[in-house]
Each structure stands twice: as C-alpha cells, then as structure tokens.
Structure 1
Amino acid sequence: MSKLLTLKERLKKALFFSVLLLLLACTTGLIVNQNVESVGTKYIVTSNEVPNADAILVLGAYVFPNGTVSTMLNDRLTAGYELYEQGKAPKLIVSGDHGRKDYDEVNSMKSFLKDKGVPNQDVFMDHAGFSTYESVYRARDIFKVQKLIIVTQEYHLKRAVYVARALGLEAYGVASDRRDYGQAMKMYKFREIAARNKDFLWTNVIKPKPTFLGDAIPVFGDGKATDDK
C-alpha cells in the first residue's frame, strides 16, 4: 500500500512540474512576443514619415507556378515601388526563395518592378532570402546596407524591423496592408508568435549564419550583378 501511495505521489509531483514548466514556457513565449512586437512597432512609420535610406527591402511571399505574384506579394511590391518613386531610396532589394529551379520568387518580383518602369540596375535580387532573419542578415553582409526601409504586411513587419535593429541596422518599416487578406491572416498571426520567439533566439543567443553568404554585392552598384547568369 505504501509503495502504491509513493507511486501516486511521484506521478502527482511529475504532473505538477510538467504543468509548471508548460506555464513557464508559455509565459516566456508571450513575454518575448510582446517585446519583439513593442520594439518593432516603434520604427513602423508611414511612407511620408520614413527617412531616406540606402535601399528598400521587399520581403518575398508566394509566387504562382506561372510566375504571377500572390496578392500579399503584389501589395508589398507596390508599396516598395511607391517608396522608390518618392525618392526614399535609390535601390530596391527583392529577397525571397529561389532555392529550386522550379520555384523562383525573386525574378517574378524583379519583373513586377521592371514592368512598372524601375530600371534593371536599381533592383537587386537576393536569391537566398529563405527567412526574414536571412533576408535582413544578407542585406547587411552581402548588400552592405546600413540604413534600410523594410516593406511587408504589418503583422510580419514588426518582427522584420526588430531583427534588423538587433543586427545593427538603422531600419524602418512601412506596412503594405492594402486589403483584407481573409481568414488566412488568423493563421499567419498565430504562427508569428512562434516566429518572433525563434528570431529573438537567433538574433540574441544563437546568431547563426544564413544558409548562403558569398561575395559582397554592394547595393550602391548595379543590380544587374544579381541577375541569373
């Protein structure tokens, strides 16, 4: 009987500590999420308020198999183009996933901007922008940007600006929300909590290098240097 009571007590203790650890993890995650959101929000401004910068970084999103950009990406590119037209920066960096031959975000993004009249030499393609962290890291180390305007939807922009600031860039964000993106936004915002916690760890603790680095391609040069060979 005493052995049975001991086993029950052990199970109760194990359950208690498991619940305690879970609550601690959830609380920590929410605190980190709030910190990233709070810091990022400070530097999100309107297109008229944003100071001039070295470049405008447009973060990638889904592209259809025929090369047409998705609605969210269309809005990001349009906002980036408008900032370029206002003279907020002399160059644009389009950063996205081009890790496979059958999927290419960045050439579609560059084509979109060229169709609007942006000269080829003013658009730099970051073919290895596989994540927000990598896009910003490469903007700093490959494209040698020091002052940056980041363009994406607001839910994502807070983290992007936080990452850039944590990596030492003078970064500002301009939101590209132009419409209601539907029910998918609920999922995106929920996933963003985990993404903010991950990028907090990456920028402050782990500090991993991107999947690819390579030779510097300063954004002050010619964007044609990033065209497919």
Structure 2
Amino acid sequence: MRIFRRLTVPDRLKAAGRRIVVAGTLGGLLAFAVTAGSLTWVRDSADGHIYQMNTVPAAPVALVLGAQVGFDGQPSAFLAARLEIARQLLNAGKVKAILVSGDHGNWNYDEPGSMMVWLAARGVPTSKIVLDHAGFDTYDSCSRAHRVFGVDRAVVVTQGYHLERAVALCRSLGVDADGVGDDSVRVFREMWFRSEIREQGAAVKAAADVLSRRDPIFLGRHETGVEDALAAS
C-alpha cells in the first residue's frame, strides 16, 4: 500500500518556486530566440543595401525618417544630421526629391513641418520637399511612402543604429530601398547607447508588424506630392 506524504507549506512553496524558475527560464529562452531571429531578419534583409553618401546608388526620392523636435520647433541634433545628408544627396544629384516623414499627431508638435523649414532655410527648394504628416513610426513611414505617396525606390536616411531596420522594413513593404546612415551624433554617447539598446526590442516589433501586415495608423488616400516634386525636376 502506497503511503502519500502530505506536503507541508514550505514544501509547497519550494515546489511553486521551482515551477516559477522553470517558467521564467523557458520564457527567457523564448524571448532570446525571438529577439535573435528578429535581428537576423533585419540584418539579412538590409545586407548589401547600406552605403556611404558618396557611393549610394541614385534613386528618385530620399526618405528622411522623423525624430525629436524641440519646443522651439528646431530639429534635434539627430534629426538635423539626417536632414543634412538628404540635402547633400539632393545637391549631388543622387535624389530628385525629399520625402520627410514624421509625427504630426498634435498640432503643436510637427516633425515634418520643422524638417521642411530646416531644409528650406538651407537652400532646398520647397518644390522638392514633400511632407508626410503621419509617419508615426518607421513601419508607418515606409508603408505610407509606398501606399500613399507611390514611392517604389528610395534612399532611406536615418542614424546608423536605426538604418538596417529602416531598410529592412521599407524593402518588406514594397520600396526598393538603400540606406545612408549618420554617425556624427555618436558624440552624444549616452543617447546613442540607449538607442542601440532599444533597437533590440524595435527589431521584434518590426518583424511582428511585417508578419501582421497591419495598415499604418493613418492610411488615407493617394497623395501626389512625390509625383509633383519629381515632375518639377
């Protein structure tokens, strides 16, 4: 006859603790696998499409991804560096128009408007600048570039830590994209490091967005801004 031993409270706590440890370990392994797989997808998708400014193949459009704008409406150092690359690409004849895509979800915060003002103040004709007011994240910017503005080929401009993900997303969403990244703002070491760390989670989100094929937060109708800018070339 088998005799069952009643578990005491400490025994039960130990058993529950072991289950928690096992579940936590499995969860950690799963999270690691998902993150590693997402990062691999990003790197493989962008492989062969990352360039320096003087070697990037020509494309009709430079897609400049938005970043923080100050209370005074001035682009942050990170965003200004992106805009300067786009300006130089236009001057060098590498692109014929600049699509600035950023967050304008509130009237008192306008990334694309600030980007246009910055470029125009430095000699870029406004006829060459197209504004996307609903680029709320990288996925939305790439998706809207293709689905709303009709962009099939572009040079994506952002910081180096963000570039592979941006190129991977655009290429997955119908834009034949190459990328040029800025590294000049590495001098802001703490911000750059934090941004690199955030890219781990951002890669997972990017992979999930591509798998879901979600619509952008705001899709809207077709806009002819890019076509008009190219026709004015």
Common fold by TM > 0.5: yes
**What are the Cα deviations for residues 69-124 of structure 1, in whole angstroms up to 9, with x where unaligned?**
11111100000000011111111001111111111111110011111221111100
Return 5+ residue gaps in structure 1 as ranges.
Answer: 224-229
- The answer for the alignment partner of 2:31 in structure 1 is 25
The answer to whether the aligner puts 1:77 opposite 2:83 as a matched pair is yes
- The answer for the alignment partner of 1:181 in structure 2 is 188
Q: Which 10-residue stretch deviates more, 62-71 or 214-223?
A: 214-223
In structure 2, the CA distance between the partners of 1:139 and 1:2, relative to structure 1 (3 Å rule), is same
Q: What is the rounded CA distance, in whole Å, between the counterparts of 1:220 and 1:53 in structure 2?
A: 14
AA in 1 matched with 2:7: K
Q: What is the rounded CA distance, in whole Å, between the counterparts of 1:222 and 1:25 in structure 2?
A: 44
**What are the Cα deviations for residues 171-199 of structure 1, in whole angstroms up to 9, with x where unaligned?**
00001222422211111111111011101
- The answer for the alignment partner of 2:101 in structure 1 is 95
Q: Which 10-residue stretch deviates more, 124-133 or 7-16?
A: 7-16
- The answer for the alignment partner of 1:226 in structure 2 is none
Aligned with 1:215: secondary structure?
A: coil
| Residue among 143, 148, 151 paired with 2:154 | 148
Q: What is the rounded CA distance, in whole Å, between the counterparts of 2:15 and 2:184 in structure 1?
A: 57
Q: Which 10-residue stretch deviates more, 3-12 or 211-220?
A: 3-12
Q: Which 10-residue stretch deviates more, 46-55 or 138-147?
A: 46-55
TM-score for both structures, normalised by structure 1: 0.90
Q: For residues 33-72 of structure 1, what are the structure 2 equivalents within 5 Å?
A: 33-72=39-78
- The question of whether the paired residues in 1 share the 8 Å contact of 2:34 and 2:204 is answered with no
| Residue among 3, 16, 26 paired with 2:7 | 3
Aligned with 1:150: secondary structure?
A: strand
- The answer for the alignment partner of 2:221 in structure 1 is 215
- The answer for the alignment partner of 1:227 in structure 2 is none
Q: What is the rounded CA distance, in whole Å, between the counterparts of 1:28 and 1:142 in structure 2?
A: 31
In structure 2, the CA distance between the partners of 1:177 and 1:14, relative to structure 1 (3 Å rule), is closer
Q: For residues 86-165 of structure 1, what are the structure 2 equivalents within 5 Å?
A: 86-165=92-171
In structure 2, the CA distance between the partners of 1:9 and 1:66, relative to structure 1 (3 Å rule), is closer
In structure 2, the CA distance between the partners of 1:141 and 1:8, relative to structure 1 (3 Å rule), is same
Q: What is the rounded CA distance, in whole Å, between the counterparts of 1:145 and 1:74 in structure 2?
A: 23
**What are the Cα deviations for residues 37-95 of structure 1, in whole angstroms up to 9, with x where unaligned?**
34324311112221121210011111111111111111000000000111111110011
User: Between Structure 1 and Structure 2, how many residues are aligned?
Assistant: 222
Q: Which 10-residue stretch deviates more, 148-157 or 179-188?
A: 179-188
Q: What is the rounded CA distance, in whole Å, between the counterparts of 2:19 and 2:217 in structure 1?
A: 43
Q: What is the rounded CA distance, in whole Å, between the counterparts of 1:15 and 1:106 in structure 2?
A: 48
In structure 2, the CA distance between the partners of 1:9 and 1:87, relative to structure 1 (3 Å rule), is same
How many percent of aligned residue pairs carry the same amino acid?
35
TM-score for both structures, normalised by structure 2: 0.89
Return 5+ residue gaps in structure 2 as ranges.
Answer: none
Aligned with 1:129: secondary structure?
A: coil
Q: What is the rounded CA distance, in whole Å, between the counterparts of 2:49 and 2:19 in structure 1?
A: 46
Q: What is the rounded CA distance, in whole Å, between the counterparts of 2:175 and 2:214 in structure 1?
A: 17
Q: What is the rounded CA distance, in whole Å, between the counterparts of 2:69 and 2:154 in structure 1?
A: 24
How far 1:34 moved relative to its partner?
A: 3.2
- The answer for the alignment partner of 1:193 in structure 2 is 200
How far 1:13 moved relative to its partner?
A: 3.4
Q: Kindly report the root-mean-square deviation, in angstroms, between the aligned alpha carbons of the 2 structures.
A: 1.8
How far 1:30 moved relative to its partner?
A: 2.3
